[in-house]
């Protein structure tokens, strides 16, 4: 069974966890733009998808801020279906950077 995103992130050293959250936020920004500029789907569906991604983006940027200040901020990485693809891309980028 594959490790969850949360499990993978928890295994990273603190500096790489911060990099993950920064890259995750960037990937979510890309996903929001992709949704909004896609020729597929109706406007209402696009807005709803973008709203979900944007809410997750707010939580991730808050996590970055809290991590930099060495404060606790809970971000449920097990309950982020809208951002799963972005999280996977961010993990791959962090892994590549650490090689």
Mean pLDDT of the chain: 91
Nearest Cα neighbor of 86 from 38, 43, 51, 53 is: 53
What percent of the chain stands above pLDDT 90?
Answer: 67
- The pLDDT of residue 25 is above 90: yes
List pLDDT tens digits, range 54-99: 999 999 999 999 999 988 888 888 877 888 889 999 999 998 887 6
Element (H, E) at 9: helix 5-11
* 5 falls within a domain: no
* 19 falls within a domain: yes
- The verdict on pTM exceeding 0.75 is yes
* 7 falls within a domain: no
CA-based angle 25:27:28, to the nearest 5? 65
| Per-residue CA distances from 66 to 21, 56, 57, 63, 91 (Å) | 11, 15, 14, 5, 20
* 65 falls within a domain: yes
Quick one: DSSP state of residue 3? P
Q: Which residue range forms the structural domain that includes residue 85?
A: 14-97
* 9 falls within a domain: no
* 1 falls within a domain: no
Which residues fall within 8 angstroms of residue 67, CB to CB, at 6 or more apart? 14, 17, 18, 21, 73
Q: How many domains does the chain have?
A: 1
């Amino acid at each position: 069974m594959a490790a969850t995103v949360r499990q993978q992130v928890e295994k990273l050293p603190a500096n790489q966890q911060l990099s993950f959250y920064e890259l995750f936020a960037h990937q979510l920004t890309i996903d929001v733009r992709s949704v909004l500029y896609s020729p597929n789907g109706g406007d209402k569906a696009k807005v709803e998808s973008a709203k979900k991604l944007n809410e997750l983006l707010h939580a991730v940027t808050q996590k970055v801020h809290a991590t930099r200040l060495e404060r606790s901020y809970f971000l449920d990485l097990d309950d982020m279906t809208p951002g799963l693809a972005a999280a996977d891309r961010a993990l791959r980028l962090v892994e590549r950077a650490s090689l």
